Structures are given as C-alpha cells and as structure tokens.
Structure 1
Amino acid sequence: MLKAFRSRWQRWVNQRIPRADQRVFGQRNIFILPTGAGVVFGGLLLIMLITGINYQNSLIYLLTFLLGAVVVAAMHQTHRNLSGLELTVIQAGEGFAGDMIPFRLRAVSPRHDSLAISLACDDSQLNQQHIASGQQEDVTLAIPSYQRGYLQPERILVETRFPFGLFKAWSWLRPVTSGIVYPNPIAAPDVISTVEDGEEQSQARSVDGNDHADIRPWREGDLSQRVQWKRYARTGEMMITDWEGEQGSPHWLDFDAFKGVDRELRLAYLAHQVMERARTNSRFGLNLPGQVIGPDTGAAHANRCLKALAIFGLEQPREGGPLPHGTRANENGKAAGSASFVGEGQA
C-alpha cells in the first residue's frame, strides 16, 4: 500500500515538475508544511488559547493572537522565499566511480529580498546558501556516484525554513544535463595488443616464431599459461615468460587485448592505463569496439578517452522514466549505474 502511494506520488510530482535544466519556482510547484518546531509551537498556541478561554484572561488572549499573527506571517514569508527564485544547472561535472560529482547551479533572486536556501540530493546537502537581493549566486552541489556511466540526478531538493524555522517550503529541480562517471581504475595486467601503428581497426597478431623471451616475477592478472610451472615446482618462485614481439604497438590501448575478461573489468583496466599514460605524458590511442581515438597526448586527450570509456555501450539519458545515479545499461538492457576530473595535475 505504501509502495503504491509513493509510486503515485512520484508520478504526480514528475508530471507537475518535468525535467528541465532551468526552473522558476512559483505557486504551481512550491510545497509548504510546518516543521517539527512549527507543530510544537502550534500546540503551545492551542494550549494558551484554551487557558485563556478557561480563565477569561485578556492578556493571554492578546499574547496568543499576537503569536498566532507571527505564525501566519512566517508562513507567508517562508513561501515567498522560494517564489520567483530561478535555479539553473550550468555545468555537470566528471569524475571516477565512487567520487562526488560536482554540479554547478546558478540561483537568481529577481526580487529585492535576500534569500536563504538549502540544496540536497540523496546524502549530499548544501545548507543555508545566501542569495543577495536582486543578485545571482553560483553554488556547487556534490552528488555521489556509484558506477560508471551518465549521472543524472532524479531530483535536487530546494528548500527554505527562513525566517523562524516554523515552516518548510520546498520544491525540486529535475535536471536534463548529466554528469560523466569514469570507470574506477584497476591496475591492468600485461597483455598483447592487437593493434599496429597506422591501423584504424584492430587485427590479431601472430606471435608464432618468437625465439627470445624475458623472464620476470609473476604479477596479479598475468595469464596462467605464461607461468613457468616446472620452475615453480622446482624453486617455488612463480616466473612469467614474456616473448619478444608479443606486445602490439606501444601507442595503443586495446579493448580486445584482455581476453576472457568481462566488459566492466576491461574498461577499468583501460582507465588505469589511460591514467598512467597521462601521468607520464606519453602518446597513446584508444581502441574500442566501434570507436577508435587516434594517438595523442595531453589532458584533453586523456579526458576524451576516459569519457569514451565511461559511456561505452550506453545511451544518453532522456526525459522519461527515472534513472538511478550513475546509470548504465546492463546485459538485459535495464537501467543499472556512476566517478574525478582529470585536470592538468593528473594528466
């Protein structure tokens, strides 16, 4: 019963407040209710009124009606704080899965009154943001991410309790703009690239006829076929054989190189490789099924590759059914879902 009521309430709110990056709040989309303090205050006024009636005390009547007038004035002022407020999403941030993704919003007060508003989305909250009378103010709300993909908040809560905290007026902003959540980097094992310099599409490379090999210690993620098991049985040391010519072009990061690994883990490996190449300012390209990003260097190139990894296999969220934070499409095509900005210091 409760679940059905919540579902109907959400549908009603979504119809009343459609998705938009800009919202002007007014009579149609502002809700107001007394807070806990307001309910207690109202109860005290009722007790005072009953006491005044019982004792026929004019001073109690006077005080009760005076405080009642304050309550009514506070209710109108609290509602008026949001009335006419214009809130706009001006930039959606980027980051790695698990990070807080910044959304920059601009609040504009068209009236000659100062405003005090709070913003919230899930567990993230921005309290008591002051908007000077007739001015605009940019605020940043950090929203949690969980998985790679598009980060489209279902609702950003906008509320105020000014001036006395007796009432809470609130509404929502439902953005269309989505943040980008990169895969969480995982250290990648040594693999054989399938891309040669000058190719725009991957092709398998034969490693037959290699006569020279390097021996190195085993690292997590190495293929078991490369372990020298006879040596391990004799010495207890796990050593790996790296044949000459097995590595493809050093300028390419290749999705197809990680054989037998699921898609999300491959993307995590590639994200780590992108970060490593960006850290050393090395030239590299990215080969994904259906998309090839040519070799280049710099922070802009690294961000472009990370964004390609973040949205690989996904569709841009649009108006329609709500999507969880950091959504992505799973194998069945349903919504599932997540992400730090690669700036000059990281790239």
Structure 2
Amino acid sequence: MLKAFRSRWQRWVNQRIPRADQRVFGQRSIFILPTGAGVVFTGLLLIMLITGINYQNSLIYLLTFLLGAVVVAAMHQTHRNLSGLELTLIQAGDGFAGDTIPFRLRAVSPRHDALAISLFCDDSQLEHQHVPAGQQHDMTLAIPSYQRGYLQPDRIRVETRFPFGLFKAWSWLRPVRSGIVYPNPLASPEVTSTVQDGEEQSKARSTDGNDHADIRPWREGDLSQRVQWKRYARTGEMVITDWEGEQGSPHWLDYEAFRGVGRELRLGYLAHQVMERARNNSRFGLNLPGQVIEPDTGAAHANRCLKALAIFGLEQPREGAPLPHGTRSDEVGHRSPKPSVVGEGRV
C-alpha cells in the first residue's frame, strides 16, 4: 500500500516538475509543510488557547494570538524565501568510480535575498547557502558515484526553513545533463596490442610455428593461458611465452588484447593504461569495439579516451529511465555501440 502510494506520488511529481537543467520555482512547484518544531509549537498554541478560554484570561488570549501571527508570518516568509529563485545546472562534472562527482549550480534570486538555502541529493548535502538579491551565487554539490557510466541524479532537492525553522518549503531540480563516471583504474598485466600502425582495420595477428618466441619468468598479472604449463609440470619453473607474431604497435591501447577477461575488468585496465600514458605524456590511441580514437597526446586526448571507456556499451539516460550514481541495471538494457571513428585514417 505504502509502496503504491510512493509510486503514484513520484509519478505525479515527475509530471508536475519535468526534467530541465534550469528551473524557476513558483507557486506550482513549491511545497510547504510544518517541521517537527512547527507541529510542537502549534500544539502549544492550541493548549494556550484552550487555557485562555477556560480561564477567560485576556493576557493569555493576547499572547496566543501574537504567537499565532508569528506562525502565519513565518509560513509566508518561508514560502517567499524560495519563491522566484532560479536554479541552473551549469556543469556536470566527471571523475572515477567511487569518487564524488561535482555538479555546479548557479542560483539567482531577482526580487529578494534567498537565505539559508540547502541542496540535497540522497546522501549528499550542501546547507545554508545565501543568495543576495539580483546576484549570481555558484554552488557545487558533490554526488557520490559507485560504477562507471552516466551519473544523472533523479532529483536535487532545494529546501529552506528560514526564518524560524517552523516550516520547510522545498522543491526539486530534475537535471537533464549527466556527469561522467570513468572506470576505476586497475593495474593491468603486460599484454601486447593486436593493432598495427598503418592497418586499414584493427585485427589480431596470427601466431604460427615460424614465429619466434621469447621466454621470460611469470609475473603477477600475466594471463594464465600464456603460462607454459607442461614446462611447469616438468621443471616446476613458471615461465611466460611472448610470441613475436603477437607484437602489435606500442602506440595502441587495445580492448582485444585482454583475452579471456570480462568487460568491466578490461575497461579498468585500459583506464589505468590511459592514465599512465597521460602521466608520461606518451602518444597513444585507443581501440574499442565499434570505436577507434587515433593516437595523440595531451590532457584533452586522455579525457576523450576516458570518456569513451566510461560510456562504452551504455545509452544516454532519458526521461523515465534515470541511471543514478553511474549504475547500470539489466532492466534498462544495453545496446551495442554504433561504429564510430574519432580521428582520421580508420573506419
């Protein structure tokens, strides 16, 4: 019963407050209710009124009506404090999974000061923000992320309890813009790219009996299929075979190089490699199924690669299907990414 009521309430709110990166709060979008302190205060006024009626005491009447007028004035002031406030999402940030993603908002109150404004989004909060009349006030709300992908908050709650805390007025901003959550970087094993410079298409190089091989000791992180298990059983020495025929271009970070590894783990490995190459200012390209980013250098190139890893295999959030905290659910579904090329020379 309660779950059904909440579902109907959420649908009603979503219809009344559609998604938008900018909202001006007015009569139709502001809600107001007494706080716990307001309920207790109203109860005390009722007791004082009953006492005044019982004893026919004019001073009790006077005090009761004066305090009642304060309650009514506080209610109007609390509503007015939020009325006319314009809130705009001007930047949705990015970061790695597990970090807090900054969402930068700008508030403008054209007619009067907006005092003690608070923002909430699940476990994140930003309290006691003051917006002077006619001036812009920028605020940053840090929202936690848990998995890679799009981070689109379902609702950012805007609330005020000014002046006396007897009432709370609130509304929501339901942003359209999404933050980007990069995969959590994971130290990758030593693998070789399957991409060669100058190839028309990304492909794996075949290994045959004529290829030369290098033998080296096993290191943590090496793939188990590269271990010479027969030699290990015979001598107890665990070694790895690196085939010359498997060597691709060192300028490419390749999704297909991590064979036998799950998608999320591959993306974590690639994110770590991107960060390492960017730290060393090395030239590199990124090869993903359906997308190729040509080799380049610089922070902008690294950010483009990290974004490609973050949204790989995911759809842009739409109305009615938010993806909070960068998570992905089977109910939403995944579509294969459409082939695209960033740069020149590859299809």
TM-score normalised to structure 1 length: 0.91
Alignment of 1:141-156 (within 5 A): 141-156=141-156
1:318 alignment counterpart: 318
Please tell me whether the aligned partners of residues 116 and 130 of structure 1 are also in contact (alpha carbons under 8 angstroms).
Answer: yes
Q: Which amino acid aligns with 1:39?
A: V
The CA RMSD measured in Å over matched residues stands at 1.9
Amino acid in the other structure paired with 2:15: Q
**Secondary structure at the residue paired with 2:91?**
strand
1:248-267 to 2 correspondences below 5 Å: 248-267=248-267
Question: Greater CA deviation, 210-219 or 294-303?
Answer: 210-219
- Equivalent residue number for residue 286 of structure 1: 286
Deviation for aligned residue 1:106:
0.3
State the Cα deviation string for residues 279-320 of structure 1 (Å, max 9, x = none).
Answer: 111110000111100001111100000001111112211223
Inter-CA distance 331–56: structure 2 relative to 1 (3 Å threshold): closer
Once the 2 structures are TM-superposed, how far is the Cα of residue 186 of structure 1 from its aligned partner? 1.3
**Superposition deviation, residue 257 in structure 1:** 1.3
Q: CA deviation at 1:147?
A: 1.3
Alignment of 1:100 with 2:100, yes or no, is yes
Give the deviation of 1:218 after TM superposition. Answer: 2.4
- Is the CA contact 2:96–2:183 (under 8 Å) kept in the aligned structure 1? yes
Does residue 86 of structure 1 match 2:100?
no
CA distance in 2, matches of 1:331, 1:82: 37
2: CA distance between counterparts of 1:181 and 1:271?
A: 12
Maintained 8 Å contact 1:115/1:133: no
Residues 228 and 334 (structure 1), Cα distance of their counterparts in 2 relative to 1, 3 Å cut: closer
Provide closer, same or farther for how the CA distance between residues 53 and 236 of structure 1 changes in structure 2, counting only shifts above 3 A: farther
CA apart distance, 1:248:
1.1
Q: Is the 8 A contact 2:218 2:227 kept in 1?
A: no
Deviations, residues 64-114 of structure 1 (Å, cap 9, x unaligned): 111110000000000001100000000000111111110000000111334
**Corresponding residue of 1:136:** 136
SS of residue paired to 1:112: coil
Q: Who is 2:345 aligned against?
A: none
The residue matched to 1:141 in structure 2 has which SS? strand
The structural deviation recorded for 1:330 is 4.2
Q: Which has the higher contact order (CA 8 A, sep 6+)?
A: 1
Is residue 2 from structure 1 mapped to residue 13 from structure 2 by the alignment?
Answer: no
Percent of aligned positions with the same letter in both sequences? 85
Report if aligned partners of 1:218, 1:238 keep a CA contact under 8 Å in 2.
no
The answer as to whether partners of 2:113 and 2:130 remain within 8 angstroms in 1 is: no
User: Equivalent residues in 2 for 1:10-159 (5 A)?
Assistant: 10-159=10-159
Structure 1 unaligned blocks of 5 or more: 336-347
Unpaired runs of 5+ residues, structure 2, are: 336-347
* Structure 1 ranges of 4+ moved more than 6 A: none
> Number of residue pairs matched?
334
Which segment drifts farther, 273-282 or 242-251? Answer: 242-251
Equivalent residue number for residue 218 of structure 2? 217
